[in-house]
Amino acid sequence: MNRLIAHIRLLRPLNLFTSALAVLLSSLIVHYRGPVEITILVTFVVISFNAAANAFNDYIDYEVDKINRPLRPLSLGLVSRESALFLTLILFGIGSIAVLELNKTAQLIAFGFALPLMIIYSWLLKGVPLVGNVVVSTILGMTFLFSGTAFENLKAMIIPAALAFGLTMVRELVKDIADMDGDQSSGLKTYPVYFGLKNAVKLTLVLAAVIGIGAFIPFLTGYYGIGYGVLLILVVEIPLGVVVVSLMNNPGITVAIRSARLLKFSTLGGLIAIYLGTL
């Protein structure tokens, strides 16, 4: 039973739950009225690809996670690397089969961009300064473009994708700051390791400010309604503000760890704000 739970933990069920919620919120944002089977398929694909990427990431990061994530199933020896790789292949496989039931544009995003980027990111790009951050942010943004194309309304998902990209960039940089010790000892050249803690904090602060201002533009221009503006302040602007103030006052690894946790659900909160803004 413990090993079964460990294999489930490997896939990060909370992340999978939030990704499923993101798809459902996307269907609400575009006011999708098509077959429910499409919604189920899109959700299944996103969960499968996300779970596979999580397992593959832990397979690749086995040595690094002994320092940065010592309580993960692979680090504890509860799941073997071979099992993680097997789960990766199975989940990518069944997700790919499900994609074939969707329209051609959704297939292009899944097979032409999302799937290869998920593999290349963990395998080659994670330790490349800033490039890895951009790639993982792009992958998350593509979740919403994929949902939009599958629900036949790509235009409505451009702003959610941009918001997801920006918030993920900030959070990924903060996570890299939090993981500096392990990354440095493992030879990963992330932005904080390569350019130093001070420069990483400065870039994070600039990006947080840009995202904070940019996220408010759709409300100021009247594209989204009052519901968007109010909730955006609560779930995006305030967390970003807290991160900025915290890093300015104490630019260290401990603060970065807390900041990463705070930002974890901001993207989901932003989606709820967008939905309220479309009502």
Segment 97-110, tens digit of pLDDT: 999 999 999 999 99
Better-predicted residue by pLDDT, 124 or 234: 234
79: CB partners within 8 A, 6+ apart: 3, 6, 7, 10, 73
Average pLDDT over residues 218-241: 93
188 pLDDT above the threshold of 70:
yes
For every residue of 144-204, DSSP letters joined together read HHHHHHHTT-SGGGHHHHHHHHHHHHHHHHHHHHHTHHHHHHTT---HHHHH-HHHHHHHH
Residue among 11, 161, 147 nearest 79 (CA): 11
Nearest-angstrom CA–CA distance, 201 and 247:
7
- Residue 209: pLDDT band (50, 70, 90) is very high
Question: How many Cα atoms within 13 Å fall on the side-chain side of residue 109?
Answer: 23
152 pLDDT above the threshold of 90:
yes
Candidate from 2-11, 31-40, 131-140, 215-224 with smallest mean pLDDT: 2-11
Better-predicted residue by pLDDT, 257 or 30: 30
Residue 177 has a pLDDT of 86
Q: Looking at domain 1-153, which of 3.20.20.30, 3.30.230.30, 3.55.10.10, 1.10.357.140 is its CATH number? A: 1.10.357.140
Q: What are the residue boundaries of the structural domains of the chain, listed by start?
A: 1-153, 154-279
Predicted structure pTM score: 0.90
259 pLDDT above the threshold of 90:
no
Average pLDDT over residues 53-59: 93
The fold of the 154-279 domain, in CATH, is Four Helix Bundle (Hemerythrin (Met), subunit A) (1.20.120)
Better-predicted residue by pLDDT, 246 or 153: 153
- Residue 1: pLDDT band (50, 70, 90) is low
198 pLDDT above the threshold of 70:
yes
Better-predicted residue by pLDDT, 114 or 268: 114
Percent of the chain at pLDDT above 90? 62
21 pLDDT above the threshold of 70:
yes
What mean pLDDT, rounded, does the chain reach? 90
